[in-house]
Amino acid sequence: MPEGPPIIRFYRGSTIIGAAPANPNISLAEIAELAGITIPTNCTSGNCGTCLVRLVRGRVEIPDEIPPGLDEELAANGGILTCCLYPSGPCDIDVIPPL
User: pLDDT of 7-24, one tens digit each?
Assistant: 999 999 999 999 999 999
Query: For residues 45 and 68, what is the distance between their CA atoms, to the nearest angstrom?
Result: 9
Radius of gyration of the CA atoms of the chain, in A:
13
Q: Which residues of 18-46 are buried (b: 16+ CB within 10 A; e: fewer)?
A: bbbebbeebbbbbbbbebebebebebeeb
The CATH class for the domain spanning 7-94 reads alpha beta
User: pLDDT of 50-68, one tens digit each?
Assistant: 999 999 999 998 988 999 9
Prediction pTM value: 0.92
Q: Give the residue extent of every domain in the chain.
A: 7-94
